[in-house]
Chains A and B, each alone.
Chain A
Protein backbone atom coordinates (compact mmCIF):
# COMPACT_ATOMS: atom_id res chain seq x y z
CA UNK A 1 0.00 0.00 0.00
CA UNK A 2 1.18 3.54 -0.79
CA UNK A 3 -0.14 6.36 1.36
CA UNK A 4 0.83 10.01 0.99
CA UNK A 5 -0.36 12.47 3.66
CA UNK A 6 -0.30 16.25 3.22
CA UNK A 7 2.81 16.19 1.08
CA UNK A 8 4.24 19.47 -0.16
CA UNK A 9 7.07 19.62 -2.63
CA UNK A 10 8.64 22.36 -4.69
CA UNK A 11 10.63 21.91 -7.90
CA UNK A 12 11.34 24.62 -10.44
CA UNK A 13 8.34 26.88 -10.97
CA UNK A 14 5.65 24.73 -9.43
CA UNK A 15 4.64 23.92 -5.89
CA UNK A 16 2.59 20.84 -5.09
CA UNK A 17 0.65 21.39 -1.88
CA UNK A 18 -1.28 19.14 0.47
CA UNK A 19 -1.04 16.02 -1.68
CA UNK A 20 -3.04 13.13 -0.26
CA UNK A 21 -3.11 9.79 -2.04
CA UNK A 22 -3.85 6.21 -1.06
CA UNK A 23 -3.25 3.19 -3.24
CA UNK A 24 -4.39 -0.10 -1.63
CA UNK A 25 -2.08 -3.11 -1.48
CA UNK A 26 -1.56 -4.61 -4.97
CA UNK A 27 -3.50 -1.70 -6.45
CA UNK A 28 -2.47 0.05 -9.65
CA UNK A 29 -2.81 3.83 -9.56
CA UNK A 30 -2.29 6.06 -12.56
CA UNK A 31 -1.17 9.66 -12.16
CA UNK A 32 -2.07 12.19 -14.86
CA UNK A 33 -1.64 15.91 -15.40
CA UNK A 34 -0.27 18.45 -17.81
CA UNK A 35 3.42 18.51 -18.71
CA UNK A 36 5.42 20.27 -15.98
CA UNK A 37 2.69 20.00 -13.33
CA UNK A 38 4.90 17.94 -10.97
CA UNK A 39 3.98 14.30 -11.69
CA UNK A 40 7.59 13.16 -11.99
CA UNK A 41 8.58 15.16 -8.89
CA UNK A 42 5.83 13.41 -6.90
CA UNK A 43 7.03 10.02 -8.16
CA UNK A 44 10.61 10.95 -7.24
CA UNK A 45 9.38 11.78 -3.71
CA UNK A 46 7.83 8.32 -3.49
CA UNK A 47 11.11 6.75 -4.66
CA UNK A 48 13.12 8.86 -2.20
CA UNK A 49 15.01 10.71 -4.93
CA UNK A 50 13.57 14.09 -3.93
CA UNK A 51 12.93 15.44 -0.45
CA UNK A 52 9.46 16.80 0.35
CA UNK A 53 9.04 20.15 2.13
CA UNK A 54 6.46 18.59 4.46
CA UNK A 55 4.11 15.63 4.75
CA UNK A 56 4.65 11.89 5.16
CA UNK A 57 4.85 8.87 2.86
CA UNK A 58 3.93 5.37 4.07
CA UNK A 59 4.50 2.00 2.42
CA UNK A 60 2.34 -0.77 3.91
CA UNK A 61 1.90 1.36 7.04
CA UNK A 62 5.62 2.05 7.52
CA UNK A 63 6.77 5.67 7.42
CA UNK A 64 9.44 5.85 4.70
CA UNK A 65 9.57 9.66 4.40
CA UNK A 66 13.11 9.94 5.72
CA UNK A 67 14.46 6.72 4.23
CA UNK A 68 17.01 6.74 1.42
CA UNK A 69 15.95 5.31 -1.97
CA UNK A 70 17.88 2.07 -1.37
CA UNK A 71 16.05 1.50 1.93
CA UNK A 72 12.54 1.87 0.50
CA UNK A 73 12.30 -1.29 -1.59
CA UNK A 74 10.92 0.53 -4.63
CA UNK A 75 11.27 -0.57 -8.24
CA UNK A 76 11.68 2.45 -10.52
CA UNK A 77 11.15 2.57 -14.29
CA UNK A 78 12.05 6.01 -15.68
CA UNK A 79 10.68 7.44 -18.92
CA UNK A 80 13.57 6.45 -21.17
CA UNK A 81 14.43 3.31 -19.21
CA UNK A 82 17.79 4.77 -18.11
CA UNK A 83 19.49 1.52 -19.02
CA UNK A 84 23.03 1.22 -17.59
CA UNK A 85 25.08 1.87 -20.71
CA UNK A 86 28.25 0.06 -19.62
CA UNK A 87 26.59 -3.21 -18.57
CA UNK A 88 25.34 -6.27 -20.41
CA UNK A 89 21.63 -7.00 -20.03
CA UNK A 90 22.39 -9.92 -17.68
CA UNK A 91 24.43 -7.58 -15.47
CA UNK A 92 21.62 -5.01 -15.44
CA UNK A 93 19.10 -7.60 -14.30
CA UNK A 94 21.47 -8.99 -11.66
CA UNK A 95 22.57 -5.51 -10.51
CA UNK A 96 19.90 -5.00 -7.81
CA UNK A 97 20.31 -8.44 -6.23
CA UNK A 98 24.12 -8.11 -6.34
CA UNK A 99 24.24 -4.71 -4.62
CA UNK A 100 21.78 -6.04 -2.04
CA UNK A 101 24.27 -8.75 -1.17
CA UNK A 102 22.90 -11.77 -3.01
CA UNK A 103 25.43 -14.43 -4.03
CA UNK A 104 26.57 -14.07 -7.63
CA UNK A 105 24.99 -17.38 -8.66
CA UNK A 106 21.67 -16.48 -7.00
CA UNK A 107 21.67 -13.03 -8.64
CA UNK A 108 22.37 -14.51 -12.08
CA UNK A 109 19.70 -17.15 -11.69
CA UNK A 110 17.24 -14.41 -10.65
CA UNK A 111 18.30 -12.43 -13.75
CA UNK A 112 17.63 -15.47 -15.96
CA UNK A 113 14.28 -16.06 -14.29
CA UNK A 114 13.10 -12.48 -14.84
CA UNK A 115 14.51 -12.39 -18.39
CA UNK A 116 12.55 -15.56 -19.19
CA UNK A 117 9.37 -14.00 -17.84
CA UNK A 118 9.87 -10.77 -19.82
CA UNK A 119 10.90 -12.56 -23.01
CA UNK A 120 14.39 -11.01 -23.16
CA UNK A 121 16.48 -14.13 -22.57
CA UNK A 122 18.00 -13.75 -26.04
CA UNK A 123 19.41 -10.33 -25.04
CA UNK A 124 21.35 -11.45 -21.96
CA UNK A 125 24.80 -11.06 -23.53
CA UNK A 126 24.01 -7.81 -25.34
CA UNK A 127 25.06 -4.29 -24.37
CA UNK A 128 22.29 -1.63 -24.52
CA UNK A 129 23.59 0.08 -27.69
CA UNK A 130 21.32 -0.81 -30.59
CA UNK A 131 18.43 -2.20 -28.52
CA UNK A 132 14.92 -1.14 -29.55
CA UNK A 133 12.66 1.02 -27.37
CA UNK A 134 10.51 -2.00 -26.46
CA UNK A 135 13.54 -4.08 -25.48
CA UNK A 136 14.89 -1.25 -23.34
CA UNK A 137 11.57 -0.91 -21.49
CA UNK A 138 11.42 -4.67 -20.89
CA UNK A 139 14.94 -4.52 -19.44
CA UNK A 140 14.00 -1.51 -17.28
CA UNK A 141 10.94 -3.37 -16.00
CA UNK A 142 12.95 -6.52 -15.33
CA UNK A 143 15.68 -4.58 -13.55
CA UNK A 144 13.07 -2.80 -11.37
CA UNK A 145 11.40 -6.11 -10.45
CA UNK A 146 14.62 -8.05 -9.90
CA UNK A 147 14.60 -7.53 -6.12
CA UNK A 148 10.87 -8.30 -5.85
CA UNK A 149 9.84 -4.78 -4.69
CA UNK A 150 6.57 -4.12 -2.91
CA UNK A 151 6.18 -0.81 -4.75
CA UNK A 152 6.68 -0.18 -8.48
CA UNK A 153 6.94 3.38 -9.84
CA UNK A 154 6.69 3.87 -13.60
CA UNK A 155 7.30 7.26 -15.22
CA UNK A 156 5.66 7.32 -18.66
CA UNK A 157 7.08 3.90 -19.59
CA UNK A 158 5.11 3.72 -22.85
CA UNK A 159 5.41 7.28 -24.11
CA UNK A 160 8.31 6.75 -26.52
CA UNK A 161 7.02 3.50 -28.03
CA UNK A 162 5.18 2.79 -31.28
CA UNK A 163 1.58 1.50 -31.06
CA UNK A 164 2.46 -2.16 -31.55
CA UNK A 165 5.23 -2.12 -28.91
CA UNK A 166 2.99 -0.10 -26.59
CA UNK A 167 0.38 -2.86 -26.81
CA UNK A 168 3.03 -5.51 -26.08
CA UNK A 169 4.33 -3.64 -23.01
CA UNK A 170 0.73 -3.05 -21.78
CA UNK A 171 0.10 -6.79 -22.00
CA UNK A 172 3.40 -7.42 -20.25
CA UNK A 173 2.48 -5.05 -17.38
CA UNK A 174 -0.91 -6.81 -17.04
CA UNK A 175 0.90 -10.16 -16.95
CA UNK A 176 3.35 -8.88 -14.33
CA UNK A 177 0.47 -7.60 -12.19
CA UNK A 178 -1.04 -11.08 -12.13
CA UNK A 179 2.25 -12.70 -11.10
CA UNK A 180 3.84 -10.11 -8.78
CA UNK A 181 2.16 -8.65 -5.70
CA UNK A 182 3.40 -5.06 -6.20
CA UNK A 183 1.51 -1.84 -5.64
CA UNK A 184 2.05 0.49 -8.60
CA UNK A 185 2.09 4.20 -9.28
CA UNK A 186 2.22 4.88 -13.02
CA UNK A 187 2.51 8.28 -14.74
CA UNK A 188 0.99 8.75 -18.17
CA UNK A 189 -0.51 11.36 -20.48
CA UNK A 190 -2.72 8.79 -22.19
CA UNK A 191 -6.30 8.49 -20.98
CA UNK A 192 -6.64 5.13 -22.80
CA UNK A 193 -3.54 3.78 -21.05
CA UNK A 194 -4.84 5.02 -17.68
CA UNK A 195 -8.25 3.37 -18.18
CA UNK A 196 -6.72 0.12 -19.36
CA UNK A 197 -4.09 -0.33 -16.65
CA UNK A 198 -5.30 1.68 -13.66
CA UNK A 199 -7.57 0.63 -10.81
CA UNK A 200 -7.71 4.30 -9.95
CA UNK A 201 -6.67 7.52 -11.67
CA UNK A 202 -5.33 10.63 -9.95
CA UNK A 203 -5.02 13.99 -11.68
CA UNK A 204 -2.84 16.94 -10.70
CA UNK A 205 -4.81 20.09 -11.51
CA UNK A 206 -3.52 23.47 -12.65
CA UNK A 207 -3.73 24.65 -9.01
CA UNK A 208 -1.10 22.05 -8.00
CA UNK A 209 -3.68 19.97 -6.09
CA UNK A 210 -4.16 16.25 -6.56
CA UNK A 211 -7.64 14.74 -6.86
CA UNK A 212 -8.97 11.32 -7.70
CA UNK A 213 -10.60 11.18 -11.12
CA UNK A 214 -14.03 9.60 -11.39
Chain B
Protein backbone atom coordinates (compact mmCIF):
# COMPACT_ATOMS: atom_id res chain seq x y z
CA UNK B 1 0.00 0.00 0.00
CA UNK B 2 2.87 2.39 0.72
CA UNK B 3 3.91 2.11 -2.91
CA UNK B 4 0.64 3.78 -3.94
CA UNK B 5 1.39 6.83 -1.83
CA UNK B 6 4.46 7.53 -3.96
CA UNK B 7 2.87 6.80 -7.32
CA UNK B 8 3.29 9.71 -9.81
CA UNK B 9 -0.47 9.96 -10.31
CA UNK B 10 -0.89 11.03 -6.64
CA UNK B 11 1.45 14.02 -7.04
CA UNK B 12 -0.34 17.03 -8.45
CA UNK B 13 1.02 18.59 -11.61
CA UNK B 14 2.92 21.89 -11.23
CA UNK B 15 1.26 23.30 -14.36
CA UNK B 16 -1.88 24.81 -12.68
CA UNK B 17 0.22 26.50 -10.00
CA UNK B 18 2.76 27.92 -12.46
CA UNK B 19 -0.03 28.98 -14.84
CA UNK B 20 -1.83 30.75 -11.97
CA UNK B 21 1.18 32.73 -10.66
CA UNK B 22 2.39 33.70 -14.14
CA UNK B 23 -1.15 34.38 -15.35
CA UNK B 24 -2.06 36.66 -12.43
CA UNK B 25 1.25 38.59 -12.58
CA UNK B 26 0.99 38.87 -16.37
CA UNK B 27 -2.57 40.22 -16.18
CA UNK B 28 -1.48 43.06 -13.91
CA UNK B 29 1.44 43.93 -16.19
CA UNK B 30 -0.99 43.89 -19.15
CA UNK B 31 -3.33 46.26 -17.32
CA UNK B 32 -0.50 48.78 -16.82
CA UNK B 33 0.60 48.44 -20.46
CA UNK B 34 -3.02 48.88 -21.60
CA UNK B 35 -3.34 52.10 -19.56
CA UNK B 36 -0.11 53.46 -21.08
CA UNK B 37 -1.20 52.42 -24.57
CA UNK B 38 -4.55 54.15 -24.10
CA UNK B 39 -2.72 57.34 -23.06
CA UNK B 40 -0.40 57.02 -26.05
CA UNK B 41 -3.33 56.75 -28.42
CA UNK B 42 -4.69 60.02 -27.02
CA UNK B 43 -1.60 62.14 -27.64
CA UNK B 44 1.05 62.68 -30.30
CA UNK B 45 4.75 63.43 -30.57
CA UNK B 46 3.83 67.05 -31.41
CA UNK B 47 1.78 67.35 -28.22
CA UNK B 48 4.66 65.92 -26.20
CA UNK B 49 7.12 68.28 -27.87
CA UNK B 50 4.96 71.32 -27.24
CA UNK B 51 4.53 70.24 -23.60
CA UNK B 52 8.33 69.98 -23.20
CA UNK B 53 8.76 73.44 -24.74
CA UNK B 54 6.06 75.08 -22.61
CA UNK B 55 7.84 77.33 -20.05
CA UNK B 56 5.15 76.61 -17.41
CA UNK B 57 5.59 72.86 -17.83
CA UNK B 58 9.38 73.22 -17.69
CA UNK B 59 9.10 75.20 -14.46
CA UNK B 60 6.72 72.54 -13.16
CA UNK B 61 9.20 69.74 -14.00
CA UNK B 62 12.02 71.61 -12.24
CA UNK B 63 9.89 72.33 -9.15
CA UNK B 64 8.72 68.68 -9.10
CA UNK B 65 12.30 67.38 -9.18
CA UNK B 66 13.34 69.78 -6.41
CA UNK B 67 10.39 69.12 -4.06
CA UNK B 68 10.42 65.33 -4.60
CA UNK B 69 14.16 65.17 -3.87
CA UNK B 70 13.85 67.26 -0.70
CA UNK B 71 10.87 65.12 0.38
CA UNK B 72 12.82 61.89 -0.25
CA UNK B 73 15.81 63.15 1.78
CA UNK B 74 13.57 64.28 4.68
CA UNK B 75 11.69 60.95 4.54
CA UNK B 76 14.93 58.96 4.81
CA UNK B 77 16.13 61.14 7.72
CA UNK B 78 12.88 60.45 9.61
CA UNK B 79 12.17 56.88 8.50
CA UNK B 80 15.56 55.41 9.44
CA UNK B 81 15.27 56.14 13.19
CA UNK B 82 11.50 55.46 13.20
CA UNK B 83 11.96 52.09 11.46
CA UNK B 84 14.83 51.21 13.81
CA UNK B 85 12.80 52.06 16.93
CA UNK B 86 9.88 49.90 15.71
CA UNK B 87 12.10 46.98 14.77
CA UNK B 88 14.40 46.92 17.81
CA UNK B 89 12.47 48.15 20.83
CA UNK B 90 9.37 47.06 22.69
CA UNK B 91 7.70 49.87 24.58
CA UNK B 92 4.27 50.69 26.01
CA UNK B 93 1.73 51.73 23.34
CA UNK B 94 3.98 50.40 20.56
CA UNK B 95 0.96 49.14 18.59
CA UNK B 96 -0.65 52.57 18.83
CA UNK B 97 2.62 54.26 17.76
CA UNK B 98 2.81 51.83 14.83
CA UNK B 99 -0.82 52.46 13.83
CA UNK B 100 -0.39 56.26 13.99
CA UNK B 101 2.50 55.95 11.52
CA UNK B 102 0.11 54.22 9.10
CA UNK B 103 -2.54 56.97 9.22
CA UNK B 104 -1.08 58.96 6.27
CA UNK B 105 -1.25 55.76 4.18
CA UNK B 106 -4.92 55.08 4.88
CA UNK B 107 -6.31 58.64 5.02
CA UNK B 108 -7.77 60.07 1.80
CA UNK B 109 -5.16 62.49 0.35
CA UNK B 110 -7.57 65.44 0.36
CA UNK B 111 -8.14 64.92 4.08
CA UNK B 112 -4.40 65.12 4.71
CA UNK B 113 -4.24 68.40 2.82
CA UNK B 114 -7.22 69.76 4.74
CA UNK B 115 -5.73 68.61 8.05
CA UNK B 116 -2.42 70.33 7.26
CA UNK B 117 -4.30 73.49 6.34
CA UNK B 118 -6.12 73.45 9.68
CA UNK B 119 -2.96 72.56 11.66
CA UNK B 120 -0.92 75.40 10.21
CA UNK B 121 -3.62 78.05 10.20
CA UNK B 122 -6.13 77.28 12.94
CA UNK B 123 -4.11 75.67 15.75
CA UNK B 124 -2.78 78.42 17.99
CA UNK B 125 0.48 78.21 19.90
CA UNK B 126 1.11 81.13 22.25
CA UNK B 127 -1.71 83.05 20.57
CA UNK B 128 -0.27 82.66 17.07
CA UNK B 129 -0.83 80.10 14.34
CA UNK B 130 2.02 77.85 13.21
CA UNK B 131 1.80 79.60 9.83
CA UNK B 132 2.39 82.92 11.57
CA UNK B 133 5.33 81.57 13.60
CA UNK B 134 6.97 80.01 10.56
CA UNK B 135 6.01 82.99 8.40
CA UNK B 136 7.91 85.37 10.67
CA UNK B 137 10.95 83.11 10.69
CA UNK B 138 10.83 82.58 6.94
CA UNK B 139 10.31 86.32 6.33
CA UNK B 140 13.60 86.94 8.11
CA UNK B 141 15.30 84.46 5.82
CA UNK B 142 13.43 85.90 2.83
CA UNK B 143 14.84 89.37 3.58
CA UNK B 144 18.32 87.85 3.52
CA UNK B 145 17.71 85.72 0.40
CA UNK B 146 14.64 86.44 -1.71
CA UNK B 147 14.57 82.92 -3.21
CA UNK B 148 13.38 81.67 0.19
CA UNK B 149 9.55 81.85 0.44
CA UNK B 150 8.10 84.14 3.11
CA UNK B 151 5.45 81.69 4.31
CA UNK B 152 4.28 78.08 4.16
CA UNK B 153 0.63 77.73 3.13
CA UNK B 154 0.04 78.11 -0.63
CA UNK B 155 3.79 78.38 -1.15
CA UNK B 156 6.56 75.92 -2.05
CA UNK B 157 7.21 74.74 1.57
CA UNK B 158 3.56 73.58 1.63
CA UNK B 159 4.24 71.30 -1.37
CA UNK B 160 7.16 69.68 0.45
CA UNK B 161 5.24 69.31 3.73
CA UNK B 162 2.22 67.81 1.92
CA UNK B 163 4.40 65.37 -0.04
CA UNK B 164 6.48 64.51 3.05
CA UNK B 165 3.46 63.78 5.26
CA UNK B 166 2.34 60.98 2.94
CA UNK B 167 5.67 59.75 1.51
CA UNK B 168 7.42 59.40 4.86
CA UNK B 169 4.82 56.87 6.06
CA UNK B 170 5.75 54.58 3.15
CA UNK B 171 9.45 55.09 3.86
CA UNK B 172 8.95 54.22 7.55
CA UNK B 173 7.21 50.97 6.57
CA UNK B 174 10.12 50.10 4.26
CA UNK B 175 12.76 50.85 6.89
CA UNK B 176 10.90 48.89 9.56
CA UNK B 177 10.80 45.83 7.28
CA UNK B 178 14.50 46.35 6.48
CA UNK B 179 15.59 46.46 10.13
CA UNK B 180 13.24 43.56 10.98
CA UNK B 181 15.19 41.49 8.45
CA UNK B 182 18.60 42.29 10.01
CA UNK B 183 19.73 39.99 12.82
CA UNK B 184 20.16 42.11 15.98
CA UNK B 185 22.78 39.63 17.20
CA UNK B 186 25.48 41.38 15.15
CA UNK B 187 24.75 44.67 16.93
CA UNK B 188 24.90 42.85 20.27
CA UNK B 189 28.32 41.40 19.39
CA UNK B 190 29.47 44.91 18.43
CA UNK B 191 28.33 46.17 21.83
CA UNK B 192 30.40 43.53 23.64
CA UNK B 193 33.37 44.56 21.49
CA UNK B 194 33.26 48.15 22.70
CA UNK B 195 30.44 49.96 20.87
CA UNK B 196 27.60 51.81 22.50
CA UNK B 197 24.12 51.51 21.00
CA UNK B 198 24.82 54.38 18.60
CA UNK B 199 28.10 52.79 17.45
CA UNK B 200 26.33 49.48 16.84
CA UNK B 201 23.70 51.34 14.82
CA UNK B 202 26.07 53.42 12.69
CA UNK B 203 28.76 50.77 12.18
CA UNK B 204 26.71 47.57 11.96
CA UNK B 205 22.96 48.08 11.40
CA UNK B 206 22.98 51.04 9.00
CA UNK B 207 25.57 49.64 6.53
CA UNK B 208 23.48 46.48 6.31
CA UNK B 209 20.34 48.54 5.76
CA UNK B 210 21.83 50.50 2.83
CA UNK B 211 19.63 48.80 0.23
CA UNK B 212 16.58 49.47 2.40
CA UNK B 213 17.58 53.14 2.73
CA UNK B 214 17.80 53.42 -1.06
CA UNK B 215 14.45 51.62 -1.42
CA UNK B 216 12.82 53.91 1.18
CA UNK B 217 14.20 57.06 -0.49
CA UNK B 218 13.14 55.84 -3.93
CA UNK B 219 9.65 54.95 -2.74
CA UNK B 220 9.28 58.31 -1.00
CA UNK B 221 10.44 60.12 -4.14
CA UNK B 222 8.03 58.18 -6.35
CA UNK B 223 5.17 58.69 -3.92
CA UNK B 224 5.89 62.45 -3.76
CA UNK B 225 5.85 62.65 -7.56
CA UNK B 226 2.31 61.32 -7.71
CA UNK B 227 1.00 63.26 -4.70
CA UNK B 228 -1.81 65.56 -5.76
CA UNK B 229 -4.64 65.79 -3.20
CA UNK B 230 -2.76 67.26 -0.22
CA UNK B 231 -0.67 69.49 -2.51
CA UNK B 232 -3.82 70.90 -4.12
CA UNK B 233 -5.48 71.72 -0.78
CA UNK B 234 -2.42 72.87 1.21
CA UNK B 235 -0.25 74.45 -1.50
CA UNK B 236 -2.88 75.34 -4.09
CA UNK B 237 -2.46 75.02 -7.84
CA UNK B 238 -1.16 78.40 -8.90
CA UNK B 239 0.36 78.27 -12.38
CA UNK B 240 4.08 79.02 -12.26
CA UNK B 241 4.12 79.25 -8.46
CA UNK B 242 3.05 76.06 -6.70
CA UNK B 243 2.62 73.98 -9.83
CA UNK B 244 4.16 70.51 -9.78
CA UNK B 245 3.59 67.95 -12.54
CA UNK B 246 0.60 66.35 -10.79
CA UNK B 247 -1.08 69.77 -10.56
CA UNK B 248 -0.14 70.57 -14.17
CA UNK B 249 -2.19 67.55 -15.26
CA UNK B 250 -5.10 68.84 -13.15
CA UNK B 251 -4.78 72.38 -14.56
CA UNK B 252 -4.66 71.11 -18.16
CA UNK B 253 -7.80 68.97 -17.57
CA UNK B 254 -9.58 71.91 -15.90
CA UNK B 255 -9.14 74.05 -19.05
CA UNK B 256 -10.27 71.18 -21.28
CA UNK B 257 -6.84 70.40 -22.75
CA UNK B 258 -7.00 66.61 -22.41
CA UNK B 259 -4.23 66.02 -24.97
CA UNK B 260 -1.93 68.36 -23.05
CA UNK B 261 -2.79 66.58 -19.77
CA UNK B 262 -1.90 63.21 -21.30
CA UNK B 263 1.35 64.63 -22.72
CA UNK B 264 2.34 65.92 -19.24
CA UNK B 265 1.41 62.51 -17.79
CA UNK B 266 3.86 60.92 -20.21
CA UNK B 267 6.51 63.38 -19.10
CA UNK B 268 5.86 62.33 -15.50
CA UNK B 269 6.30 58.68 -16.47
CA UNK B 270 9.54 59.48 -18.34
CA UNK B 271 10.95 61.55 -15.43
CA UNK B 272 9.99 58.81 -12.94
CA UNK B 273 11.56 56.02 -14.99
CA UNK B 274 14.80 57.99 -15.50
CA UNK B 275 15.20 58.94 -11.83
CA UNK B 276 14.17 55.58 -10.36
CA UNK B 277 16.34 53.58 -12.77
CA UNK B 278 19.29 55.89 -12.09
CA UNK B 279 18.90 55.56 -8.32
CA UNK B 280 18.60 51.78 -8.52
CA UNK B 281 21.71 51.45 -10.69
CA UNK B 282 23.59 53.73 -8.30
CA UNK B 283 22.31 51.73 -5.32
CA UNK B 284 23.34 48.41 -6.85
CA UNK B 285 26.84 49.71 -7.59
CA UNK B 286 27.25 50.91 -4.03
CA UNK B 287 26.07 47.67 -2.43
CA UNK B 288 27.89 45.17 -4.67
Q: Which residues of A contact B190 (CB under 8 A)?
A: 84, 95, 99
| A72 proximal to B (CB < 8 A) | yes
Q: Which bucket holds chain A's interface residue count?
A: 20 to 34
In the complex, number of A-B residue pairs with CB atoms less than 8 Å apart = 67
Binding site of B, secondary structure by majority: helix, strand, loop or mixed? helix
Known contacts A82-B185, A82-B186; 6 additional CB pairs below 8 A are A70-B196, A80-B185, A83-B186, A84-B190, A140-B189, A147-B193
Question: How many whole Å from B88's CB to the nearest CB in chain A?
Answer: 13
Question: Which residue of A69, A85, A100 is within 8 Å of B188 (Cβ)?
Answer: A69
List B contacts of A147 (CB < 8 A). 193-194
A144 to B191 Cα, complex, angstroms = 11
**Can you list 25 A-B pairs, Cβ within 8 angstroms, ordered by A?**
A44-B188, A47-B192, A69-B192, A70-B193, A76-B189, A76-B192, A78-B185, A82-B185, A84-B189, A86-B204, A86-B207, A86-B208, A86-B210, A95-B193, A95-B203, A96-B193, A99-B190, A99-B193, A99-B195, A99-B203, A100-B194, A140-B189, A144-B189, A146-B193, A147-B193
Tally of chain B residues near chain A (CB < 8 A): 18
B208/A85 in contact, CB under 8 A:
yes
Interchain CA distance A78-B184 in the complex, whole Å: 11
| Chain A, residue nearest B186 (CB) | A82
Separation of A12 and B188 alpha carbons in the complex (Å): 19
B residues near A44, Cβ cutoff 8 Å: 188
**Looking across the interface, which residue of chain B has its beta carbon closest to that of A83?**
B186
A186 at the interface (CB under 8 A from B): no
User: What is the CB-to-nearest-CB distance from A13 to chain B, in angstroms, rounded to a whole number?
Assistant: 16
Q: Given that A84-B204, A85-B208 are contacting pairs, would A99 and B194 also be in contact in the complex, using a CB cutoff of 8 Å? A: yes
Those of B200-220 within 8 Å (CB) of chain A: 203-204, 207-208, 210
Most buried by A among B183, B191, B196: B191
Q: How far does the alpha carbon of A97 sit from the alpha carbon of B191 in the complex, in Å?
A: 13
Q: Is A68 within 8 A of B194, CB to CB?
A: no
A48 touches B192 (CB 8 A): yes
Asked if B199 is at the interface (CB within 8 A of a chain A CB), the reply is yes
- Min CB distance A44 to B, Å, is 8
A95 contacts across to B, CB distance below 8 A: 190, 193, 203
> What is the distance, in angstroms, from A107's C-beta to the closest C-beta of chain B?
11
Residues facing A in B106-130 (CB within 8 A) are none
In the complex, what residue of chain B is closest to A86 when comparing beta carbons? B207
Contact in complex: A82, B188 (CB < 8 Å): yes
CB distance from B226 to the nearest CB of A (A): 33
B195 touches A70 (CB 8 A): yes
A97 to chain B, nearest CB (A): 8
Q: Mark A60-102, 1 if CB is under 8 A from B, else 0.
A: 0000000011101011101010111110000000011001100
